[in-house]
Amino acid sequence: MCYKNGKDILPERLLKELQKYIQGENIYIPKTEERKGWGESNGTRIAIIERNLEIYGLYKKGTKVFIIAEIYNLSEDSIRKIVFKLNNRKLNKTII
C-alpha cells in the first residue's frame, strides 16, 4: 500500500482540522463511489442466478434432486435450498 504525506496533498486548513482528531497515525479515506455487491464486477452473480434458474427448471420438469445434484456437482441439500428459495419467490410474486 502506498502512503502519502498529508502535508503534501491536503490544504493546510484541512490538515490542521484533521490533526485535531488524529496525529502521526495512518488513516484510510474511502472512495466516494459505493462498492459493488458480491459478484457484480466479474459476472459471477449473474452466472449463479442463471444456473439456479436452470436447476429450478429441471426440478419443475420432474428431474430428481439427486440427478440435478450430480449434473451441477452440488449437494442434494443445496439443490433443495435453491428450489425452495425460487419457489417461494415465484409464489410471492403471484400473490402480490
Q: With respect to residue 28, please indicate whether it lies within any of the assigned structural domains.
A: no
Q: Is 29 helix (H, G, I), strand (E, B) or coil?
A: coil
pTM check: above 0.75: no
Q: With respect to residue 27, please indicate whether it lies within any of the assigned structural domains.
A: no
Domain of residue 90, residue span: 44-95
Beta carbons within 10 angstroms of residue 96's beta carbon:
5
Q: What would the DSSP string read from start to end of 52-85?
A: HHHHHHHHHTT--HHHHHHHHT--HHHHHHHHHH
Total structural domains within the chain: 1
pLDDT in tens, the chain (96 residues): 688 888 899 999 999 999 999 888 888 888 887 878 888 888 899 999 999 999 999 999 999 999 999 999 999 999 999 999 998 886 666 544
Q: With respect to residue 25, please indicate whether it lies within any of the assigned structural domains.
A: no
